[in-house]
A and B are shown apart, each in its own frame.
Chain A
């Protein structure tokens, strides 16, 4: 089973700053099966990025994803007030089918 590790655990930044979030897999994975979500308190997660670098419908272009193999990155180019939230990476294993999530990175206001 793939284990996802996210760093840092918490990222304290100011609005307008750039956020760089890391997701590392315990073994090499296909970028086709790596996604990112945003979750705000009391809300369900929202899909941001799928296939490592494809933005989901309606997601602003300040959100971008990159990476391959074991190292993936979510970048928020300029933080807006509504971007302070918890971010999860997620991997899908096709055989047997299994979805795993990373522990999350909290982006909070500095």
Chain B
């Protein structure tokens, strides 16, 4: 059973860059899946940020696209998120998750990591 584990700084300064990684274990990052980042501000709902395929192809939510980069490192079996020019509105629990190609749903999730944007 695949397991996903987020890692990265829990505190980022305003105007800085948020960087997170998601380690994939128990399954291949080169399988027929897309790898996504999803976030959830405290007490609020879920927002999809973007996804990457094993080949490096990416898709992003349009409203975040100018600030987001999602990448994959198959040699390390991990994928990553970079979100630039962060503000307090980017404070959230960030989840990594997996979706099947042409599945349209997330069948595996990481436990989530809280990132706070504050000086």
Interface residues of A (CB under 8 A from B): 32-33, 35, 37, 43-47, 50-51, 56-57, 88, 90, 92, 94, 96-104
Highest count of chain A CB atoms <10 Å: which of B38, B51, B95: B38
- Within the assembled complex, what's the spacing in Å between the Cα atoms of A50 and B105? 7
Residue pair A90, B45 in contact (C-beta under 8 Å): no
Residue pair A101, B111 in contact (C-beta under 8 Å): no
Contacts of B112 in A (CB 8 A): 44
Query: Which residues of chain B from 104 to 119 have a CB within 8 Å of any chain A CB?
Result: 104-107, 109-112
Please report the total number of B residues contacting A with Cβ < 8 Å: 22
Q: Give A25 Cβ to nearest chain B Cβ, in Å.
A: 14
Highest count of chain A CB atoms <10 Å: which of B48, B105, B106: B105
- Within the assembled complex, what's the spacing in Å between the Cα atoms of A102 and B47? 10
Q: Quick one: which of A57, A88, A98 contacts B45, CB cutoff 8 A?
A: A88
Contacts of A92 in B (CB 8 A): 104-105
**15 residue pairs from A and B, CB less than 8 Å apart:** A35-B105, A44-B109, A44-B112, A45-B46, A45-B95, A45-B106, A47-B106, A50-B103, A50-B104, A50-B105, A88-B46, A96-B59, A99-B104, A100-B48, A101-B48
Q: Quick one: which of B38, B59, B95, B97 contacts A97, CB cutoff 8 A?
A: B59
Mark B2-45 against chain A: 1 for CB-CB distance below 8 A, else 0.
00000000000000000000000000000000001010000001
Residue pair A99, B107 in contact (C-beta under 8 Å): no
